[in-house]
Amino acid sequence: AQSVTQPDIHITVSEGASLELRCNYSYGATPYLFWYVQSPGQGLQLLLKYFSGDTLVQGIKGFEAEFKRSQSSFNLRKPSVHWSDAAEYFCAVVDAGGTSYGKLTFGQGTILTVHP
Amino acid sequence: DGGITQSPKYLFRKEGQNVTLSCEQNLNHDAMYWYRQDPGQGLRLIYYSQIVNDFQKGDIAEGYSVSREKKESFPLTVTSAQKNPTAFYLCATGGASNYGYTFGSGTRLTVV
């Protein structure tokens, strides 16, 4: 079964600093990969997704992610963090074939705190 | 304005009571999903439906039931058999394609 690991439960950065959130997945074939952001008490907003093609994916709010098949990783990056980026971030994977087609599997989430 | 709507935003359940959470979408997507969110555990799949009148159990279906009588609607009932129902519940629609998945704003269920 596919799985997603976000090794960092909580990350704190200063405003203006760069950010990298880690995501590792376990899946035999090429997965579909997503990053979502959630503000407290709200639903999930899609930041970006990777299906195929260019392994560097650009998303909304200045975020990008790079798919590295050799490392089974899909890390999220932002060059300069803003205070409004404070939220919880989730990495997710979909099995692109087989009986589990369509179901998202989520990591445990990473809470981002931004210091002024 | 296309989207997915969950109601109510807050719901309180007494011991032994069944409650139903509403999820409606007007994006014309075939597939709909229910997830449960607990702190530090990410989101876990309860039920999903890929077509009207058909649905499948997810990873944590015990104590929950669903129906899919219309394409637009996928209500979730939390039954008295669910012993720990306090959580944040998220409904989603879409799939692994160019349009991806869209989530509702969630329902917070609390046992009183």
pLDDT by residue (tens digit) across B37-59?
998 888 999 999 989 999 999 99
| Contact (CB<8Å) B50/A102 | yes
What per-residue string of b and e applies to B57-68 under the rule 16 or more CB within 10 Å gives b?
ebeebeebbbeb
Residues 6+ apart with CB under 8 A from A51: A32, B96, B98
A2 to chain B, minimum CA–CA distance in Å?
Answer: 12
Contact between chains at A51 and B42 (C-beta distance less than 8 A): no
A102 to chain B, any CB pair closer than 8 A? The answer is yes
Query: What is the secondary structure of B54-92 as a DSSP string?
Result: EEEE-TT-TTEEE--SBTTB--EEE-TT-S---EEEEEE
User: What's the pLDDT at A40?
Assistant: 87
pLDDT score for A100: 41
Q: What is the pLDDT of residue B76?
A: 98
Closest-approach residue (CA) in chain A for B31: A102
With CB atoms and an 8 Å threshold, state whether B41 touches A94. Answer: no
Interface A-B: count of C-beta contacts within 8 A = 60
Q: Given pLDDT bands bounded at 50, 70 and 90, which one contains residue A61?
A: very high
> What's residue A24's pLDDT?
96
In sequence order, what are the residues at sequence separation of 6 or more whose Cβ sits closer than 8 angstroms to the Cβ of residue A111? A9, A10, A11, A87, A88, A89
